[in-house]
Structure 1
């Protein structure tokens, strides 16, 4: 066996070991189902005994894996779950969260595989990692301003934050269901890149704040996986989390832009600061009413404690938005990035993947996958001229 073949064989064994662990199976359980001694399975996984073709097929079926996935001609990236264990001290006990970390790993690996097939690596614009400053709030203000400048964002709202982070920075962002108390996941790997999972079960405004929060971790703690917990009520918050929250607030609502537009709106309303003005500003900046009020308090544009006073007086933001004719925002539940979907369609059109693999890449059944491909794989140059008379 050549050096290259030995390397690829070791990658196969590593993928088999991970697949077994992902299924929650012990070596003893697998050995029993395979009709072999546990020591024989140990020898297989360690490479001491050569894996027979029929054994590989049986193990793939047992683990719910396709052979082409196990035989990918590339080294398996580091397990993201291991990064989360290292950062949190243990793997979170919630089954949904454990499944989400495994899903994030597989989604990122599939994304990289599509790029490999098409020789189309993800364009990235990664700045050098920053350290979390001693003063989290002042440091967050500075870094948020720098990033807006680096990405040429001006001081206006960021309605398409997910697309911005995907296309202009190079993050891989997926929308996956997480337990409600978790805002998102972030992990970085040299092979997989920067991977983010935002909670598809959260409201749209919360999702955007979580994305900006994870972006802060990417900018400062790239080597450390993060599980972001949505904290309610008083609780001592680590400096890195205070920084990430402050950065998210300032990235979404820059001081100069907020001040200028608030003052203009205040003038238009006769110098009065009303709930309607607050809700209008929140809608403009694509944030929640509470986040808007907290930012205005922070900038001393409204008095401290104004939001708490509005809550005590019974303000219901959703009812107020409806009265003002402001359209409700829908949560982003789209699992896959647009670029990922387009890569899948292109790979299929070029004959690089089968229809079955298209369905697997898109996480849809074959009928739905075929319909999506037909809708997207349409050459505009071949379209009839609708303006022709």
Structure 2
């Protein structure tokens, strides 16, 4: 009997996964062939899908590449190799081994996400926008035009954006992952078919910096999604692509009309004067750093140029000032995985479609931590009849 279409597709999928696994393991075909005890032409045939893999060979491949056999046998094709598309950026990062590991982690998470979607048979959230051609504008004007257009498309108005990550994941359709990136790398962006735009954010950066990074990578998604990007800090002069992304971030997080109006409102409350307290209050409202706010206000000619430099020279401490003003701490979730990803895994576990071990594997946690995460995702804080805070089990509350 001949090979069926499904069997042929499975062979091709396995071949692709084996190629990607070898690439992630940074092994050559000659090295793998020697370890496997086979000729290089045989390995080439396996990686082309023209030669079947025996169960014994599959186990040896999994051990060599440090992969689970189950992940190699997934029936859907893996995302296009993220590592291969970032290769140029990684080659120039000789002192950034953590970046190399983070890209591997992103590739693994993307593959897991696709597998969760396959198991759940659900669609990805979001309303992805079309690519915006803005070549006819300079980078600064293009960034502002894109930010205004997106805010209008999403119905966000010109006010502060509180739930940045949720808006990008649920409304826009970006998959936002928090990764352990090198300190000088703020984030990265890549478009992965069929998952869509994927953003990696440095989870070790302060919340305000993470929000700025998300907005910055969002701009790459809108203007140049065909090109993977790695955003580094402190690079001196930046190119037009990065200028556009920085302009977009400033305008998306602090829209011109809204920031001008609120700045003047705060001045009126302080006898028409703008003080450091004014800047701290406004930065708190927009959930950006005082530095980012100052530079934005300087750009809009609302405060004198060089204000931030003078504050810094005088050792101004924004955090201490915020404490003196009794500005409440604004919590920012630092979960590595998107909320939709985590809820898919939780629903599958709840329905009995995956085991507890598989659930922990998808969440990249120990079983103990996965149990805590399950509790967090299936309960919520509420107020009881006597006004006291209580935890409501969402599963028990459903009739």
TM-score by length of 1: 0.92
The superposition leaves residues 50-96 of structure 1 with CA deviations (integer Å, 9 ceiling, x where unpaired) of 3211111121122222222111111222111222236x494633211
Tell me if structure 2 keeps the 8 A contact 1:132–1:240. no
Where structure 2 has 5 or more consecutive residues not aligned to the other structure, the ranges are 380-392
Equivalent pair of 1:91/1:98 in contact (CA under 8 Å): no
- Determine the structure 1 residue equivalent to 2:80: 78
Residue of structure 1 in register with 2:306 after alignment: 305
1:2 aligns with 2:4: yes
SS at match of 1:186: strand
Q: Please, which moves more after superposition, 156-165 or 350-359?
A: 350-359
Q: Choose 27-36 or 158-167, whichever is displaced more.
A: 27-36
Counterpart in 2 of 1:111? Answer: 113
Residues of 2 paired with 1:72 and 1:17: CA distance?
A: 14
Cα deviation for residue 37 of structure 1 reads 4.1
Q: Distance in 2 between matches of 1:135 and 1:384?
A: 54
- Deviation, 1:25, is 2.6
SS at match of 1:272: coil
Residue in 1 that maps onto 2:46: 44
| Equivalence for 1:27 | 29
Residue 272 (structure 1) aligned with residue 273 (structure 2)? yes
2:396 aligned partner: 382
The answer to whether the 8 Å contact 1:187/1:224 transfers is yes
Cα deviation, residue 359, structure 1: 0.9
SS in 2 for 1:173: strand
- Cα deviation for residue 293 of structure 1 reads 0.8
How far, CA to CA, are the matches of 1:163 and 1:384 in structure 2? Answer: 24
Note the residue ranges of structure 1 that are not aligned, 5 or more in a row.
none
Alignment of 1:1-389 (within 5 A): 1-85=3-87, 88=89, 90=91, 92-93=93-94, 94-133=96-135, 134-231=137-234, 235-328=236-329, 332-377=333-378, 380=394, 382-383=396-397
TM-score, normalised via structure 2 length: 0.90
Query: Helix, strand or coil: the match of 2:18?
Result: helix
Q: Which moved more, 1:176-185 or 1:122-131?
A: 122-131
How many pairs are equivalent?
A: 382
Deviations 1:74-124 (A, max 9, x none): 1222111222236x4946332111111111111122112111211111123
Q: After alignment, is 287-296 or 5-14 more displaced?
A: 5-14
For 1:382, what is the secondary structure of its paired residue? coil
CA distance in 2, matches of 1:46, 1:172: 30
For residues 291-344 of structure 1, the C-alpha deviation after alignment (integer angstroms, 9 at most, x for no partner) is: 111111111111122221222222121222222222455664311111111110
